[in-house]
Structure 1
């Protein structure tokens, strides 16, 4: 029986909270957008000083799959 290659669209969703020291909601939002992030294979990180930021994120993402398509190329 020949195996087919399937392309499975997948989203990994990490959800959490950044606690940011700021003078307004907009400043807090900008700080998170500009100075905080997550890289696959890395950790949640921030360029803000420790006294201005704290976070709590799950290390296990929610996994969502979407459209599945068959590739033309087949393997045996």
Structure 2
């Protein structure tokens, strides 16, 4: 594995290059790797359950933020 220090060109680089390579930043180092492949598998029942719970939590949070009275009660309850 090649190591490079103080590389001005790749410093802070991130994202996809030529739809084949990916620049990443890990622990302060620039890493160049192959582009990850997407899985063609359908989500499991457990994953679908978590998604549904997250959606419900998101809808609840938006409704509380839209109602100032509920927001005050929630903030007081957290303190």
Could you tell me the TM-score, scaled by structure 1's length? 0.21
Q: Looking at both structures, which has the greater relative contact order when contacts are Cα pairs under 8 Å and sequence separation is at least 6?
A: 1
Structure richer in helix, relative to its length: 2
Could you tell me the TM-score, scaled by structure 2's length? 0.20
Larger-gyration structure (1/2): 2
Structure richer in strand, relative to its length: 1
